Amino acid sequence: MNFEGINSVHLIGIGGIGMSALARWFRHEGYAVSGYDRTPSPLTDELVAEGMQISFEDKLETIPNVITDSPEKAMIIWTPAMPKESAQLNFFRDNGFQLKKRSEVLGMVTSSYYTIAVAGTHGKTTTSSMIAHMLKSAGKPVVAFLGGITQNYQSNLIIGGKKSKEPSLVVVEADEFDRSFLRLHPNEIVLTSADPDHLDIYGDEQHILDGFLEFVNLVDKKGRLYIQQHAAQRLGEGKLPKVATREYGLRSTGIGAENIQARSGSFVFDYLDGKQEIKGLELFIPGFHNVENALAAIAIALDHQISEEQIRKGISSFKGVKRRFEIHVNEGNQVFIDDYAHHPEEIRACLSSVRAMFPTKKLTVIFQPHLFTRTRDFAAGFSESLSLADSVILLDIYPARELPIEGVNAAMLLDGINTGHKELVAKEDLISHLDRTSPEVLVTLGAGDIDRLVPEIASWMKERLNRYVP
């Protein structure tokens, strides 16, 4: 490991999902861990409870003495999401501290272990979490750095498996944002999708395809590549690395699924890969896209000598990831599902699955667009995918790291939405609006702060159920 001489770690932006997973790993490895973030959150509360010192003021006096007293023994990890004028970040830069981006540190970790890296525009969080859960539940020594909070472990870091002389397997979510994934050292790669996104970083669709192609060619020459069928077509199969490659997809002739049944709280399917068939698998995180994610996880499990019985148990016991097709209410005639979908293809996948589960019910969607650039670049796609709903409620754009762009707003999506009812609603008016319209199946979508509304919406729907119990 490349951390000799380091005894303390300070993370700027520690409250981010990816950063907090690293913080937890360093804490588990015995380092003194501290950090700064702009605002407290349930996640930072958990980190403090786990023994980390966190401040929410960007001031030098909040930096722990263990960092400032021994700069040569400290590592500073920062995220590009932090503003360039950050007082702490500039102090560390100006005073010779060892600064590393999160992606660099993950690269250092993956260079020392057998690494399974999961990339893709969509599906990487669920797929990497599912792989890690299958390995852990089968007793394999595993460490997983994830981009979401798993429901099974209530964490974005998984460490587990039986004690073994085998070195740990590392499962890492490989993020294409800022080309971070190019710093990893993967032995195996899963590519779940390669649709255009992050055009503010890549410029155009061809450049993001080039980025994914560069990433898959990082795979170890003795390793394996698992690639979703449409992603393989988009990258160009002749450009893929000359390694053992397995293509998967719902209708793939390589690794595929048959006899898919959409139930009200699960999907049942058969796994086939030309050599092996596992019938009647039940996945309790619904969605056609999640069945496809499971295909990659099952293939990896089989290649790591996990038995059919262990796979069946791993699939049925996987509870999913928070905000990935998370069902909060499903009783009576009321359903409420929350999902992180913030790209047209993700929205299409989510709503198509909801339709299959509840074909006779009216579907209402609340969508908060994420980023001005993404809304501008994919406006037509957003309108088209949202049209799968019967009723669409739009919230204002969540800006995240961006400044407003003239003429770009949530209302610009309305004209292209072809559905019975559509309107723009302020967040503070949302509950009263729902009370008037009485949705049957309600889905919230978005990667911004829409998740803060989820508990209130769930409480409203449960109270409404109680109100009409005879």
39 is in an annotated binding site: no
Q: How far is CA 176 from CA 34, 201, 307, in A?
A: 27, 10, 32
245 is in an annotated binding site: no
222 is in an annotated binding site: no
373 is in an annotated binding site: no
122 is in an annotated binding site: yes
Cβ pair 169, 141 in contact under 8 A: yes
Cβ pair 191, 120 in contact under 8 A: yes
419 is in an annotated binding site: no
What number of other Cβ atoms are within 10 A of residue 98's Cβ?
A: 14
121 is in an annotated binding site: yes
Question: Left if phi > 0, otherwise alpha if psi is -120 to 50, otherwise beta: which for 437?
Answer: alpha
Binding residue positions = 120-126
Binding residue positions for ATP = 120-126
